[in-house]
Copies of this chain bind each other. A is one copy, B any other.
Amino acid sequence: MSQPLYQAVKQHLLDKINTGKLVPGDLIPSEAQLSRALGVSIGTVRKAIDILEQERKLYRHQGKGTYVSHVNFDNSLFRFFTYGDETGESARFHKETPERRRVDGEKWICKILQVPANTPLIYIERVGFDHQELPVLVEQCWWLAELVPGIENAEVHIPDLLYAVIEERFGVHVIRAEETLTADSATEYLSHKLLIEPGAPLVVLHRRTYSNNDRLIEYRITHGRADRFSYKTEIR
């Protein structure tokens, strides 16, 4: 055989997920059902699901079944960093949304989003505060306006999880994201927002967010105070 059977089973499930036949939270067919339907042994189905579980695409619940994972996208920098100067304690945060408006996309952002210049966009700026109400991060997001019409209106409440609104109100599924992490110095603008000196070190996260069919729907830049974020890991 050119391809292992378990790869075919894995691809069968991935296809169902990527085409929307299975959406996050869905129960997939049981291992026995898949085994019968695809004409392979249950061990082969298990191996395929093992891999998908390991890749976080699926999760199993004994006695209930196997489900399609929800993507846990938000908290941006917190995917990499834990708040707190090496102490590693998990802290509480909340976000506010001081700015949101419809804009005609400037050339540079339209190029990133792969749309013609001046395409209507929604600009959303959010600030994250720690438990002492000190600002520690600034998120700047650009969305394709046609996908999230009306989100720029102040009466639309934006919870801490921005993607929750996007999913529920606009039916736009966030499928995946690409992130690039680096560091930079605070601009005048950001230093004001974060109550730090201009030039102070920041950690920077660039994110491209994709919906179905690899459609690029958002570009986001998050700046966080370097003295408040650190990433800890172990190598063995």
Interface residues of A (CB under 8 A from B): 54-57, 71, 73, 79-81, 86, 175-185, 199-203, 226-227, 229-236
Contacts and interface: CB of A to CB of B under 8 A. Distances in A.
Contacts of A230: 180-182
A175 B236 contact: yes
Contacts of A234: 176-179
A71 B235 CA distance: 8
B232 A179 contact: yes
12 contacts: A176-B234, A177-B234, A178-B234, A178-B235, A181-B231, A181-B233, A182-B226, A183-B202, A183-B203, A183-B226, A183-B229, A201-B201
A184 B231 contact: no
Contacts of A86: 180
Given A56-B236, A235-B79, A236-B57, A199 B177 contact: no
Count of chain copies: 2
A57 B227 CA distance: 34
A176 B233 CA distance: 11
A180 B80 CA distance: 11
A177 B236 CA distance: 7
Contact of A179 (B80, B175, B177, B233): B233
Q: Which of A55, A180, A184 has the most CB of B within 10 A?
A: A180
B200 A185 contact: yes
A116 B190 CA distance: 43
Nearest to A54: B54
Given A178-B234, A179-B232, A184 B79 contact: no
- What are the nearest 10 A-B pairs in CB distance? A183-B183, A183-B226, A181-B231, A182-B230, A183-B201, A176-B236, A177-B235, A185-B201, A180-B232, A183-B203
A39 to B, nearest CB: 22
Given A73-B235, A178-B232, 18 more contacts: A54-B54, A56-B236, A57-B236, A71-B235, A71-B236, A80-B181, A81-B182, A178-B233, A179-B232, A179-B234, A181-B232, A183-B202, A183-B226, A183-B229, A184-B226, A185-B199, A185-B200, A201-B202
